[in-house]
Structure 1
Amino acid sequence: MTATTKPAAPVAVTRARALSPATLAVRQGRLEITQFLRSRESVVFTMGFPIIMILIFASIFSDQIAPGVSYTQYFITGMIATGLMTVSFQNLGIWIPIERDRGVLKRYRGTPMPKWVYFAGKVIMVVAIGVAETALLLAFSVALFDLTLPATAAKWLTFGWVSVLGVTACTLLGIAISSLARTARSGSAVVTPVALVLQFISGVFFVFTNLPDWMQQVAAIFPLKWMCQGLRSVFLPDSFGAQEPGGSFELGRVALVLAAWCVIGLVLCLTTFRWTSKRDG
Structure 2
Amino acid sequence: MSTPRAVLSATRARTVVELKELSRSWDALVFNVFFPVIFLFIFGSVFGDDIAPGVSFTQYFTAGMAASGVLLVSFQSLAISIAVERDDGLLKRLQGTPMPPVAYFLGKVGLVVVSGLVQLAVLLTAAHLLFDVTLPAGPRQWFTLAWVAVLGATAGTLLGIAYSSIPRTGRSASAVVAPVVLVLQFISGVFFVFSQLPGWMQDVASVFPLKWMAEGFRAALLPESMAAAEPSGSWQLGLVALVLLGWTVLGLVLCRTTFRWRRRGDR
Q: TM-score range by the shorter chain?
A: over 0.9
Q: Which residue of 1 aligns with 2:181?
A: 195
After TM superposition, give the deviation of residue 149 of structure 1 in Å. Answer: 1.4
1:130-149 equivalent positions in 2, closer than 5 A: 130-149=116-135
User: One-letter code of the match for 1:203?
Assistant: G
After TM superposition, give the deviation of residue 166 of structure 1 in Å. Answer: 0.3
After TM superposition, give the deviation of residue 111 of structure 1 in Å. Answer: 1.4
Q: Which residue of 1 aligns with 2:48?
A: 62
- Could you tell me the TM-score, scaled by structure 1's length? 0.92
Retained in 1: the 8 A contact 2:75–2:160? yes
User: One-letter code of the match for 2:119?
Assistant: E
After superposition, the CA RMSD in angstroms is: 1.3
Retained in 1: the 8 A contact 2:33–2:116? no
Retained in 1: the 8 A contact 2:22–2:29? yes
Task: Tell me: CA distance 1:227–1:18, structure 2 relative to 1, closer, same or farther (3 Å).
Answer: closer
Aligned: 1:168 with 2:154:
yes
- Could you tell me the TM-score, scaled by structure 2's length? 0.97
Aligned: 1:278 with 2:267:
no
Retained in 1: the 8 A contact 2:47–2:57? yes
What do the CA deviations read for 1:80-101 (whole angstroms, capped 9, x no partner)? 1111110110010111011001
After TM superposition, give the deviation of residue 117 of structure 1 in Å. Answer: 0.4
Aligned: 1:47 with 2:29:
no
Gaps of 5+ in 1: 1-15
User: One-letter code of the match for 1:213?
Assistant: G
Retained in 1: the 8 A contact 2:15–2:106? yes
Task: Tell me: CA distance 1:207–1:109, structure 2 relative to 1, closer, same or farther (3 Å).
Answer: same
After TM superposition, give the deviation of residue 18 of structure 1 in Å. Answer: 11
Distance 1:160 1:44 in 2: 23
Q: Which residue of 1 aligns with 2:97?
A: 111
Q: Which residue of 1 aligns with 2:248?
A: 262
Distance 1:234 1:178 in 2: 31
Aligned mate of 1:222, from 203, 208, 214: 208
After TM superposition, give the deviation of residue 180 of structure 1 in Å. Answer: 0.2
User: One-letter code of the match for 1:229?
Assistant: E
Gaps of 5+ in 2: none
Q: Which residue of 1 aligns with 2:87?
A: 101
User: One-letter code of the match for 1:198?
Assistant: L
Q: Identity rate of aligned residues, in percent? A: 55
Give the aligned length.
266
Distance 2:64 2:136 in 1: 16
Distance 2:4 2:194 in 1: 53
Partner SS state of residue 65, structure 1: strand
Aligned: 1:91 with 2:113:
no
Task: Tell me: CA distance 1:18–1:144, structure 2 relative to 1, closer, same or farther (3 Å).
Answer: closer
Q: Which residue of 2 aligns with 1:120?
A: 106
Partner SS state of residue 165, structure 2: helix
What do the CA deviations read for 1:204-239 (whole angstroms, capped 9, x no partner)? 000001111000000000000000000000010000
Partner SS state of residue 179, structure 1: coil
After TM superposition, give the deviation of residue 147 of structure 1 in Å. Answer: 1.3
Distance 1:34 1:27 in 2: 11
The structure with the larger Rg is: 1
Aligned: 1:253 with 2:233:
no
Task: Report which stretch shifted further, 116-125 or 57-66.
Answer: 57-66
Q: Which residue of 2 aligns with 1:7?
A: none
Q: Which residue of 2 aligns with 1:6?
A: none
Q: Which residue of 2 aligns with 1:156?
A: 142
Structure 1 segments, 4+ long, off by >3 Å, are 16-19
After TM superposition, give the deviation of residue 20 of structure 1 in Å. Answer: 2.8
Q: Which residue of 2 aligns with 1:232?
A: 218
After TM superposition, give the deviation of residue 17 of structure 1 in Å. Answer: 7.9
Aligned mate of 1:82, from 61, 68, 78: 68
User: One-letter code of the match for 1:175?
Assistant: I
Distance 2:4 2:75 in 1: 33
